[in-house]
């Protein structure tokens, strides 16, 4: 007798749900990193909304460097070094989409 492993059949709705879960997890990880770094650096962080302009977040360039380096360690990639074009996110929403590779 031969056992054959079959891939489970995934409907389109399930694929969308999986992609949404990954985006939600990524967003949660990024927001947590912003909060952790702000606390560690003694910064007062503005409310984290999609429209928050990063320059108005309460974080300085060192904080952003720590966030990017920490996310690279956790996620295994740095979209700033992998990007072909030079791009600097303006809002927190841009930052999250950049990490989700949606820009």
pLDDT, tens digit, 9 for 90 and up, residues 15-65: 445 555 667 789 999 999 999 999 999 999 999 999 999 999 999 999 999
pLDDT of residue 1: 45
CB 48 within 8 Å of CB 92: yes
In a domain, 6, yes or no: no
Structure tokens that stand for 78 in this block:
């740095």
What's this model's pTM, rounded to 2 decimal places? 0.75
The total number of structural domains in the chain stands at 1
pLDDT tens digits, 6-23: 444 445 554 445 555 667
Instruction: Give me the half-sphere count of Cα atoms (radius 13 Å) on the Cβ side of residue 85.
Output: 6
CB 64 within 8 Å of CB 70: no
pLDDT of residue 21: 64
Domain that holds residue 48: 17-99
How far apart (Å, rounded) are the C-alpha atoms in residues 5 and 2?
10
CATH code at position 32: 1.10.1200
């Amino acid at each position: 007798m031969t056992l054959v492993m079959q891939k489970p059949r995934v409907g389109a709705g399930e694929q969308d749900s999986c992609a949404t879960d990954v985006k939600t997890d990524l967003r949660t990880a990024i927001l947590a990193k912003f909060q952790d770094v702000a606390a560690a650096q003694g910064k007062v962080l503005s409310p984290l909304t999609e429209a928050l302009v990063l320059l108005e977040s309460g974080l300085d360039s060192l904080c952003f460097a720590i966030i990017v380096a920490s996310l690279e360690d956790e996620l295994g990639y740095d979209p700033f070094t992998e990007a072909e074009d030079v791009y600097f996110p303006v809002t927190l929403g841009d930052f999250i989409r950049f990490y989700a590779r949606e820009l």
